[in-house]
A and B are shown apart, each in its own frame.
Chain A
Amino acid sequence: MTSTVRREGTQAGVRRPAPRPGLRDRLSRWDVKASPYLYVAPFFVVFGIVGLFPLLYTAYVSLFHWDAGDDNPDFIGLDNFKELFADAQFWHSLENTVSIFLLSSVPQLIIAVLLAALLSTRLRGATGWRVGILLPYAASLVALGIIFANLFGPKYGLVNGLLQTIGLSPVDWQANRFASHVAIAIMVNWRWTGYNALIVLAAMQAIPKELHEAALIDGAGTVRRFRHVTLPLLKPTLIFVTITSTIGGLQIFTEPKLFDAMPGSNNGGSTHQFQTVTLYLYQTAFENFDLGYASAIAWVLFLIIVLIAGLNYLLTGRIARTPKRRGA
């Protein structure tokens, strides 16, 4: 392949019959040289504007007392960060975020792997099942948030209705801190489990059939084959889905915003019981208009995400070990 690449780049011009050093030729040479940069440029321009610049500028803004619309913000150094570390509401929102993230990611990934195992059998109507499982992925988060807020409504919600029908006492899904986290996690899981199952399924299907046959002949049952053949070979994919769900999970915003009994509020419940960090960030920036403080929150959240994603990487690597070699 390397040789093809080289030929493509350098020899094509030489091969051309009768190379005249005219304007056309110079133009075409310029075309070959400059075009690649031109083609990749849009991404770098857009990323510069919406990725890199914001990241750096957020760091800059976080050093100011910066109200929205203020043209001469005061430089206050690291005061925003000092204040943030002493801010009980921030820690509270971080706890909520981590709690919701764990309640969603852990069951979600476990169920996704098991679901993928079911889907990887020789099903009749395989595509139909896959489409059905993926359906929630098409739903809008806003619509979902509203629908689930309704289902989990404390007074007339369907979930509490069912609980009462089977003789259990109703749960106040919005007021109770843990219950609200569970409800929001269910919402997240409902949307993403099928999607992750399909990604895992793709990796499962790449596992050679012979490996399973060999393990079966060696006397390994379904469970052992799953643990010692399937799981280890899924490692890269598991790392991938864990990290993407971490990045998404720690930024969770739409679900808690719409879950509020007081719609439109950014409080995350009457005592902030399900306010997440991104929701607090949004409230600080666009309800209290304190852009400097909100920027400090954004940066701390960014660092936390990087940290937890890294931690995930190590953990996932440990859970899905490489297969032990066996004697023949």
Chain B
Amino acid sequence: MTTLTTRVSRLGKPRKATYWVLAVFVLGSLFPFYWSFLVASRDNGMLTERVPPLLPGGNFFANAARVFDTVPFWKALANSVIVSGTVTLTTVLFSSLAGFAFAKLRFRGRNALFVFIVVTLAVPTQLGIIPLFIAMSKLGWAGGLQAVIVPNLVTAFGVFWMRQYTVDAVPYELIEAARVDGCSMIRIFWNVCLPAVRPAAAILAMFTFMMSWNDFLWPLVVLDVGNPTVQVALEKLQSGYYVDYSLVLAGTTLATIPILIVFLLLGRQIVAGIMQGAVKG
């Protein structure tokens, strides 16, 4: 029987089992990635074996090369970089601007407009694909990258996120001082606000890039087979009467590696971002 003080001091101390459970979860998280690399580095024969081999084989580069022969993978990569890059830049810029206005500027209708933005978070934009598709066709944009970029120029989440951060990060005194010095609004934003909200902007940038890179339904609807993003190209790899899994999973590995590297490098910040963005009681 331990005393009360030792029990209080032990409060929140993990048991050994905690580590074991977490280790199982992390291994489970890793496994599908590893499996896809495993198949990609061997040939389809491995899939028929009852007990599959646990170590990668040597065929990964050969299988990867076939990916580039089967679908326009270079073009898909370039398209994904263009789309995700542009969307990330504009989302961060427009969200920071709107966040600055909502957090620090006074204007008629400010609260109502902000509440409206928060409410729009609940509108599932995916359901709008049909009119959006009709609109894009009428504009002659269907098939072009702008059809994927324009609908994602800025998000409600981004505005909400930047506003929350700007409220605390930018002191009114600083803005006022800049105004007294004769700064225009846009210069105040650029020289005073933006440097102060850089951490939040960086997190938003990472999120936006990942979301955009992994987006599937809308690019699938609006882009042509010859001009895909990476995700659409992957799906095309798999479509066919006979699925060549070594080929397909080489493709998924190729498409996942860049984002996995980014994630592992910036994981700490991404985690901090998610924890910061969670709703507070």
Contact = CB atoms under 8 A, between A and B. Distances in A.
Contact of B123 (A15, A51, A281, A291): A51
B2 to A, nearest CB: 12
Interface in B250-281: 252, 255-256, 259-260, 262-264, 267-268, 270-271, 274-281
B131 A150 contact: no
A172 interface: no
Contacts of A247: 122, 124
Interface stretch (A5-13, A92-100, A102-110): A5-13
A43 B26 contact: no
B140 interface: no
Contacts of A307: none
B175 A8 contact: yes
A48 to B, nearest CB: 10
Interface residues of B, number: 110
A115 B102 CA distance: 36
A142 B214 CA distance: 8
B120 interface: yes
Nearest to A236: B281
A49 interface: yes
Interface residues of A, number: 113
B21 interface: yes
A146 B249 contact: yes
Contacts of A118: 14, 18, 21-22
Contacts, number: 327
Contacts of A146: 36, 234, 238, 248-249, 252
A199 B131 contact: no
B278 A203 contact: yes
B61 interface: no
A40 B113 contact: yes
Contacts of A72: none
A142 B234 contact: yes
B1 interface: no
Contacts of B241: 262
B185 A31 contact: yes
B176 A235 contact: no
Nearest to A139: B256
B115 interface: no
B249 A49 contact: no
Contacts of B267: 127, 131, 134
Contacts of A136: 29, 32
Interface in B209-233: 210, 213-214, 216-217, 221, 230-231
Interface string B14-31: 100011011001101110
Given A39-B101, A217-B4, A9 B151 contact: no
B156 interface: yes
B263 A135 contact: yes
B278 A202 contact: yes
Interface in B25-56: 25-26, 28-30, 32-33, 35-36, 39, 47-48, 50-52
Contacts of A151: 32, 35
Nearest to A205: B275
Contacts of A35: 101, 105, 185-186
Interface of A: 4-9, 12, 15-16, 28, 31-33, 35-37, 39-40, 42-44, 46-47, 49-51, 53-55, 57-58, 61, 115, 118-123, 127, 129-136, 138-144, 146-148, 150-151, 153, 156, 158, 161, 164-165, 190, 194-195, 198-203, 205-206, 209, 212-213, 216-217, 233-237, 240, 243, 247, 251, 253-254, 257-258, 262-264, 278, 281-282, 285-286, 291, 294-295, 298-299, 301-302, 305-306, 309
Interface of B: 4, 7-8, 11-14, 18-19, 21-22, 25-26, 28-30, 32-33, 35-36, 39, 47-48, 50-52, 90, 94-95, 97-98, 100-102, 104-107, 110, 113, 117, 120, 122-135, 150-151, 153-154, 156, 159, 172, 175-176, 179-180, 182, 184-186, 189, 210, 213-214, 216-217, 221, 230-231, 234-235, 238-241, 243, 245, 248-249, 252, 255-256, 259-260, 262-264, 267-268, 270-271, 274-281
Given A12-B180, A134-B267, A243-B122, 19 more contacts: A5-B172, A15-B180, A36-B110, A42-B154, A43-B159, A53-B135, A54-B125, A119-B22, A134-B270, A139-B33, A139-B214, A139-B256, A140-B234, A144-B32, A194-B25, A198-B278, A254-B216, A282-B129, A295-B131
List the 4 shortest-distance A-B pairs measured between CB atoms, nearest first.
Answer: A54-B128, A264-B239, A132-B26, A9-B106
